[in-house]
C-alpha cells in the first residue's frame, strides 16, 4: 500500500460544485502539503500544514480551503469549482526540510476536471 | 518571471549519451536545492540534493553556483530508464518552489 494515499484519483465535475480531495499518510510525518500541477507551470503550493493546529496559505490558495483532521489526514476543498481549477493535484508529506534533505513524499495524484 | 526556470526540452538523446539540464532561480535567499524526477503520469520523487561543492550519485552529478543562481544536473551514460521529466526544486524557509521540468527521452 502507498504511504501517501489520495482519493479520488480521478474526478470530473461541473462548474459550481463543491469538491473535496482527501489525503492520508502512514509515514508519521507532521508536515503535509497540497500542490497543483499544470502543464508548463510545474507544481505550485496551495496550502500546507506543519501540525494539526497549523494551516498556512501557499502560493495559490484563492478558491481553495483545507482541513487537517488528524496528523495523518489533510483534505483539500474547492467550495465552488471553476474550469481553471482543472489540474493534477498532489498531496505530499515531509519530516523536516530544514536539514537539507528536501524530501517530499507525494501521493499518486488526483486528476480533477471541471467542466 | 518564474522563481525557478528550466528549459522545458524535450531532450531526445541516444542511449549512452551524456545530457545536461540547467536551472536558474531568482531568489538569492534560497537555502537548499534539489532535483526531483517525475515519470509520465506519476508523482515526483527525490533524485538528489544539490550541494555547494557539487555532488555525484552514480551516473548523476549535480552542481550549484550560488553567485549565478544556477543549478545543473548531468547524466552520463544515459539509460532508457532515465526517460522522465526532471524537476529543479528550490527551498527557502520551508517553501519548496518547483520548476516546470525538463523532459528527457532516451532512445535505443
Q: What is the pLDDT along chain A (115 residues), one digit of tens a residue?
A: 679 999 999 999 999 999 999 999 999 998 999 999 998 888 999 999 988 999 999 989 999 999 999 999 999 999 999 999 999 999 999 886 555 566 899 999 999 999 9
Contact A114, A86 (CB under 8 A): yes
Indicate yes or no: CB of B94 within 8 angstroms of CB of A45. no
Indicate the residue of A35, A42, A101 with minimum beta-carbon distance to B49. A101
pLDDT tens figures, B45-86: 999 999 888 899 999 999 999 999 999 999 999 999 999 999
Rounded CA separation B106/B33 (Å): 25
The pLDDT value recorded for residue B96 is 87
Grid coordinates in use for B18?
A: 551524456
> Helix, strand or coil for residue B63?
strand
For residue B1, pLDDT over 80 is answered with no
Which residues make beta-bridge pairs with B25?
B4
Indicate yes or no: CB of A104 within 8 angstroms of CB of B46. yes
> Helix, strand or coil for residue B79?
coil
Rounded CA separation B96/B44 (Å): 13
Grid coordinates in use for A63?
A: 478558491
Indicate the residue of B2, B44, B95 with minimum beta-carbon distance to A45. B95
Burial of B57 (0-12, 13-18, 19+ CB in 10 A): exposed
Amino acid at each position: 500500500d502507498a504511504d501517501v494515499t489520495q482519493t479520488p484519483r480521478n474526478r470530473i465535475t461541473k462548474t459550481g460544485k463543491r469538491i473535496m480531495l482527501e489525503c492520508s499518510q502512514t509515514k508519521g510525518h507532521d508536515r503535509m502539503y497540497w500542490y497543483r500541477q499544470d502543464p508548463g507551470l510545474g507544481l505550485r503550493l496551495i496550502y500546507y500544514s506543519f501540525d494539526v493546529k497549523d494551516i498556512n496559505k501557499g502560493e495559490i490558495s484563492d478558491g481553495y480551503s483545507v482541513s487537517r483532521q488528524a496528523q495523518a489526514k489533510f483534505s483539500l476543498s474547492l467550495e465552488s469549482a471553476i474550469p481553471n481549477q482543472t489540474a493534477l493535484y498532489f498531496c505530499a508529506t515531509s519530516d523536516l526540510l530544514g536539514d537539507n534533505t528536501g524530501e517530499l513524499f507525494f501521493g499518486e495524484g488526483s486528476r480533477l476536471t471541471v467542466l | 518571471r518564474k522563481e525557478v526556470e528550466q528549459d522545458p526540452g524535450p531532450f531526445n538523446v541516444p542511449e549512452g549519451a551524456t545530457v545536461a539540464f540547467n536551472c536558474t532561480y531568482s531568489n538569492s535567499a534560497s537555502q537548499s536545492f534539489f532535483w526531483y524526477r517525475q515519470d509520465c503520469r506519476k508523482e515526483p520523487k527525490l533524485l538528489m540534493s544539490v550541494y555547494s561543492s557539487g555532488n555525484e550519485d552514480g551516473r548523476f552529478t549535480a552542481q550549484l553556483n550560488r553567485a549565478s543562481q544556477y543549478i545543473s544536473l548531468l547524466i552520463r551514460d544515459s539509460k532508457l530508464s532515465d526517460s522522465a521529466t526532471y524537476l529543479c526544486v528550490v527551498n527557502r524557509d520551508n517553501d519548496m518552489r518547483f520548476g516546470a521540468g525538463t523532459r528527457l527521452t532516451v532512445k535505443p
